[in-house]
Amino acid sequence: MTQAEADAGKAAIRRALRSLRRRHLVEEGAHRPAIEALNRPFAAHALEWKEKAEKNELELQQCYKAQSRLSEQLVSEINEAKTSKALLKEKEALITTLQSELGQTREENVQLKESLEEKTNALDLLIQEHQAAKAELERVLTKLKAVEHENTQLVERLMQAKMVEAEKLNEANAMYEEMVLKLKAAGLGAGGIQHNAQQEADGVIRRSEAGYVDIMETPIPSTCRVTIRAHDGGCGSIIFQNNTDKLISGGQDQTVKIWSAHTGALTSTLQGCLGTVNDLAVTNDNKFVIAACSSNKLFVWEINGGRPRHTLTGHTKNVCSVGASWAKSLVIASSSNDRTIKIWDLQTGFCKSTIMSASNPNTLAFIHGDSICSGHRDGSLKFHDIRSGKCFATVAGHADVSSVCVTRSKNHVLSSGRDGVHKLFDVRMPTEVVEICGTFRAPSNRLIGSWGRACISPDENCIAAGCSDGSVCIWSRSKNEGPTILEGHSLPVVTSAWSEFGPLATADKNHIHIWA
Q: What is the pLDDT of residue 468?
A: 85
Q: Which of 179-183, 318-322, 324-328 is the least confident region?
A: 179-183
What average pLDDT score do residues 219-235 get? 90
d(CA 404, CA 363): 6
Q: What is the pLDDT of residues 284-298, one digit of tens each?
A: 999 999 999 999 999
CATH architecture of structural domain 224-515:
7 Propeller (2.130)
Q: Which of 16-30, 97-111, 288-302 is the least confident region?
A: 16-30
Q: Which of 121-130, 214-223, 328-337, 471-480 is the least confident region?
A: 214-223
Calculated CA dihedral for residues 149, 152, 158, 163, nearest 10 degrees: -140
Q: What is the pLDDT of residue 184?
A: 66
- Please name every residue paired with 368 in a beta bridge, in sequence order, or none if there are none: 371
What average pLDDT score do residues 466-485 get? 87
Q: What is the pLDDT of residues 364-385, one digit of tens each?
A: 999 877 899 999 998 899 999 9
Map out the domains of the chain as residue ranges: 10-100, 224-515
Q: How confident is the model at residue 210 (pLDDT cuts 50, 70, 90)?
A: very low
Indicate if the pLDDT at residue 44 is higher than 70.
no
Q: How confident is the model at residue 204 (pLDDT cuts 50, 70, 90)?
A: very low
Q: What is the pLDDT of residue 514?
A: 94
Indicate if the pLDDT at residue 200 is higher than 60.
no
Q: What is the pLDDT of residues 78-89, one digit of tens each?
A: 999 999 999 999
What average pLDDT score do residues 484-494 get? 91
Indicate if the pLDDT at residue 266 is higher than 50.
yes
Q: What is the pLDDT of residues 115-148, one digit of tens each?
A: 999 999 999 999 998 999 999 999 989 988 888 8
Q: Which is nearest to 316 in space by CA: 343, 300, 295? A: 295
Q: Which is nearest to 403 in space by CA: 428, 424, 386? A: 424
Distances in whole angstroms, Cα of residue 136 to Cα of each of 71, 123, 124, 143, 249? 93, 19, 18, 10, 43
d(CA 163, CA 399): 37
Q: What is the pLDDT of residues 407-433, one digit of tens each?
A: 988 889 999 988 888 999 988 776 666
Q: What is the pLDDT of residue 351?
A: 93
pLDDT, averaged across the chain: 84
What average pLDDT score do residues 457-465 get? 91
Task: Report yes or no: 427 and 383 within 8 Å, Cβ to Cβ.
Answer: yes
d(CA 415, CA 434): 13
